[in-house]
A = this chain, B = another copy of it.
């Protein structure tokens, strides 16, 4: 039996895998409320020619539309790689309840800048299925060389 967090992180990894197949940096995100998946997204920077089209931003936009509300304070974000400062700032503005990321981003993760970019009430957890998330990223960047 797998935990709930592992179950949802696997869904985020499926999104990351889609990004991989489309030639996008393989990062996936999902947003969950009341144990239901509200939005699924993957990185679409290349397709949209938009460097801000990160998985988290797209997942946030869909969830905001779904709830027709300015805040996601009852939601959890699962994302395969640690959010960047832009995404952390956006998540802070939504007052999201919880962020769970698989692997740290040692180059551009928000914690390298300032952990308090996030809202003070947002809970953060990481490490779930970290190896799978890293494996996908490594294999993407190896293919690029």
Which secondary structure dominates where chain A touches chain B? helix
Q: CA A57 – CA B87 in complex, angstroms?
A: 12
> In whole Å, how far is A17's beta carbon from the nearest beta carbon of chain B?
23
Q: Is A52 in contact with B60, judged by CB distance below 8 angstroms?
A: yes
CA distance A48 to B57 in the complex (A): 15
Q: Which residues of B contact A57 (CB under 8 A)?
A: 52
Q: Once bound together, how far apart are the Cα atoms of A61 and B49, in whole Å?
A: 10
**In the docked arrangement, what's the CA distance between A86 and B94, Å?**
11
The answer to the question of A3 belonging to the interface, with a C-beta cut-off of 8 Å to chain B, is no
Q: Which of A60, A64, A113 has the most CB of B within 10 A?
A: A113
Decide if A71 is an interface residue (CB 8 Å cutoff).
Answer: yes
Q: How many residues of chain A are within 8 Å of chain B by beta carbon?
A: 29
Partner pick for A49 among B50, B68, B117, CB 8 A cutoff: B68
A93 at the interface (CB under 8 A from B): yes
In the complex, whether A107 has a CB less than 8 A from a CB of chain B is no
Q: Give 26 CB contacts A-B under 8 Å.
A: A46-B70, A49-B64, A49-B68, A49-B70, A50-B70, A51-B90, A51-B93, A51-B95, A52-B61, A52-B93, A84-B89, A84-B93, A85-B85, A85-B86, A85-B89, A85-B92, A85-B113, A85-B117, A86-B86, A86-B89, A86-B92, A86-B93, A87-B89, A88-B89, A113-B117, A114-B114
